[in-house]
Chain A
């Protein structure tokens, strides 16, 4: 298996633009997580899905952030409009069952100018 795949790996955009981050979890994994990593706040859980259904989105910072999982093999995290404070590394992770170690993707480094 190729592991968790994220795209793009790097994204540079201007304030106010829409940004879409993509994730392909490992096949057969029922849980998908989106994390945001910054040096100041560490790794924050934004939202997670179970069997394509959002379970807990309490970590989503505000209405500018939205996430979808239309099928078992694809998820998106959208920021609209983007702001400089959204600059961070965004990780997608997946796991097979609750309580097992998630596999992390390589992350998307987002820079909002």
Chain B
């Protein structure tokens, strides 16, 4: 069964510094997607970054980047130059590709990030 593990329930970072959130997953599939979502107090889930498993190059979106280690089944999120608005819950998610019928998503338990002014 697919599982997603976020071993850090809480993290904190000084404003303007860099922080890394960890995520590991378990799968026997070779083709899949990985995501990081941000959930601010509004409870909306905002897609931060997405990685296709077949791509070796790590995805990057502005201050957000990932370290994707497929063999180790690790997918960490690095936030550079942290800002106060980055404070939120962050969820790692795995999506298994299912032919014509869409995808099945699995979420980690989340990491609460605090940004210290």
Contacts and interface: CB of A to CB of B under 8 A. Distances in A.
Categorize the interface residue count of chain B: 20 to 34
Contacts of A14: none
Main secondary structure of the interface of B (DSSP, over half): strand
Interface string A1-44: 00000000010100000000000000000000101010100111
Contacts of A43: 37, 45, 47
A43 B45 CA distance: 6
Contacts of B33: 39
Interface string A67-90: 000000000000000000001110
Contacts of A88: 102
A37 B37 CA distance: 12
Given A43-B37, A44-B45, A45-B43, 8 more contacts: A43-B45, A45-B44, A59-B44, A87-B102, A88-B102, A104-B107, A107-B104, A107-B105
